[in-house]
Amino acid sequence: MSRFRFIHSADLHLGSPFHGLSVKDPTIASVFIEASRNSFSSLVSTAIELAVDFFVIAGDVYDGDWKDNKIGLFFNREMAKLERAGIPVFLLRGNHDALSVITKTITLPANVHEFPTNKAGTFKIDELKVALHGQGFAERSAMENLAIGYPAPVPGWFNIGVLHTSLTGRELHAPYAPCSVEDLRSRGYDYWALGHVHEFEEVASDPLVVFPGNLQGRNIRETGAKGAVLVTVEDGRPRYERVIVDGARFDAIKIFLDVNHQASDVLALVEEAARSRTVSMEGRVTAVRIHIGGESDLRRDFVLNKQQWRDELQAACHRAHADLWVEKIEIKLSDTQSSVVAPQMAGIDLEQLLNPHGADNILDEVHELISTITLKLPGGAGASQLPLDVSPEALIDEARQLLLARTGGAS
């Protein structure tokens, strides 16, 4: 009986800028900032402990070009640990670390084998009778179907396709190297090691087509447990298990209010929801976004006493678990009918004045201002890439609601 094991990982996004967490405690913020490196180190340690036969990385090792060599030095150090343990690495470039994107280099150890970017290439591990086929990205954007250009399988060997792709389209992910599961199947391989999509997904079972997801959630859109997969191949048949290596987590809590809920009920509801998260946290520091929806006269109070509510909701989370931190609070409440009173202020119809449809020129001005500022930033980042936590629309709406609440009106 032949048996071997390998790690399939993707989307390390080393050097990814961290934003979106407004937790004031610097120790907590640093847990999240360090997490992407720590998760990769943890995966490398696991691979060495398990003495896997090889290690696959299906793209996006780096989030983008390096500011300096620090991130390259970190990656080299981890690769060298694998080299000393006798574990070869098969590396593919994705859209974030395409050949044209990464301009700096650090010489990697000899155990690291990089797939070509001009055409599909094959690496063979003779003693295991394993062939790995892959083509990395030359440019940030790869609009052609790369999979159909992959070579025929090596007969009688275990063939692995390594590809960075969005397949036929995945929500929140740019459409790169588009292809169908049928295209993959047509290659006749035994396992497809995909990358790009940050959610873990078993796309197909025959043959196995897997997105391992990223190693560490980077923002509120990347919730839940994160890691790679450990693939065990016995007599040519692969099976996998997830290897969870994240060091910090994102989660969301949703509560709905009705007219009968008082302020104390809100705290109790959030605390109860927070308690239900303590198992899935698995001991990780967790940043949680709290969504409050429904119909309630507390809406104005949330607007007027924002900081006090934030602190109370944080306290409710801490009553459930010491490592549960409020990432952000989203209030989507509507007033009850009885409380709607039009604001009157010296004959000015404030509500009309601050009408959301009248805010269009304010929005235009804000966008213009942001573009002017971004052009002056180093690197000349486009305004669309500005790492704002909230959209200008949301900021304007918040200001509007605050004004209306202060003057006693509804919005």
Using CB under 5 A, list all residues that contact Mn ion.
60, 94-95, 196
Could you tell me if 60 and 11 are in contact, meaning their C-beta atoms sit under 8 angstroms apart? yes
Kindly report the number of other CB atoms within 10 A of residue 372's CB atom: 10
The Cα 222–Cα 216 span in angstroms is: 8
Handedness of CA 31, 36, 39, 44 (dihedral sign): negative
Using the minimum distance from each CB to Mn ion, give the nearer residue, 216 or 314. 216
| Smallest separation (angstroms) from Mn ion to the CB of 213 | 12
* Residue nearer to Mn ion on the CB measure, 98 or 313: 98
Instruction: Measure Cα distances from 372 to 226, 382, 384 in Å.
Output: 38, 10, 12
**Spatial distance between the Cα atoms of 121 and 409, rounded to a whole number of angstroms:** 66
DSSP state of 173: B
**Closer CB to Mn ion, 4 or 66, in the complex:** 66
Residue 165 Cβ vs Mn ion, minimum distance, rounded to whole Å: 9
Residue 83 or 114 with smaller CB distance to Mn ion: 114
Q: Which is nearer to Mn ion, 4 or 200 (CB)?
A: 200
Nearer to Mn ion, 10 or 331 (CB): 10
Nearest residue to Mn ion by CB is 196
End-to-end CA distance of the chain: 71
Where is 376: in which H helix or E strand? helix 360-376
Residue 59 or 238: which CB sits closer to Mn ion? 59
- Shortest distance (Å) from residue 28 CB to Mn ion: 28
**Beta strands across the sheet bearing 112-114:** 112-114, 89-91, 54-57, 3-9, 227-234, 237-244
* 94 vs 213, beta carbon nearer Mn ion: 94
Query: How many angstroms separate the CA atoms of 167 and 261, rounded?
Result: 46
**Tokens 């694998």 — which residue?**
82
Closest separation in Å from C-beta 58 to Mn ion = 9
- Cβ-proximal residues to 373 (8 Å cutoff; 6+ apart), any chain: none
Q: Nearest approach, Cβ of 6 to Mn ion (angstroms)?
A: 21
Crossing angle for the helix pair 263-275 and 306-320, to the nearest 10 degrees? 40
Residue 95: both structure tokens together: 């859209």
In this complex, which beta carbon is closest to Mn ion, that of residue 214 or of residue 286?
214
Of the candidates 227, 329, 320, the one whose C-alpha atom is nearest the C-alpha of residue 288 is 329
Torsion sign, CA atoms 188, 192, 195, 197? positive
Run of H or E including 309: helix 306-320
